[in-house]
Amino acid sequence: MFVRFLMLLVLFLAATPAFAVNPDEVLPDPALEARARIISAELRCMVCQNQSIDDSNADLARDLRLLVRKRLTDGDTDRQVLDYIVSRYGEFVLLKPRFSQKTVILWGAPIVLFVAGGLALAVYARRRSGKPTGQPLNAEEEAELNEILGK
């Protein structure tokens, strides 16, 4: 029983995300390192594209991690670091794009599509509700129905 528990524990721990931050990149100040990790989690690896630079082993991701840490040690705020990297690599480098005039379609499209789908469903249901379903009864079926109903 204990062995099974240990095996399950090892499997669950193996499924946790592995961070690609190398020991030589870690800042000596824990507060700065925590800020660097938060910023790195928001930045997309331009090579992998579906990973943050914190999770990626690509050389470009390493360079970006080092750049983030350098900017933080130079005294930049989190916002200044993000703005600097966006100015160099574009808005695509952010895993969660900012709401701006350029990204209004990206953020507004789901709402517009949801409303349009609801309206289309309402129009379809309204048109469909007035139409009879099936076929009219023929004379024989109508006579049988009248007999059942006692008319």
What band does 15 get if pLDDT is binned at 50, 70 and 90?
very low
pLDDT tens-digit readout, 70-115: 999 998 898 999 999 999 988 888 888 878 787 788 788 899 999 9
| H/E run at residue 85 | helix 78-89
Q: Note whether 21 and 71 are same-domain residues.
A: yes
The conformation of residue 56, written as its DSSP 8-state character, comes to -
Q: Note whether 21 and 89 are same-domain residues.
A: yes
> What CATH number is attached to the domain comprising 71?
1.10.8.640
The separation between CA 124 and the C-alpha centre of its own chain, rounded to angstroms, equals: 31
Judging by beta carbons within 10 Å of its beta carbon (0-12, 13-18, 19+), is residue 45 exposed, middle or buried?
buried
Q: Is 7 inside a domain boundary?
A: no
How many domains, in total, are found in the chain?
Answer: 2
The overall average pLDDT reported for the chain is: 83
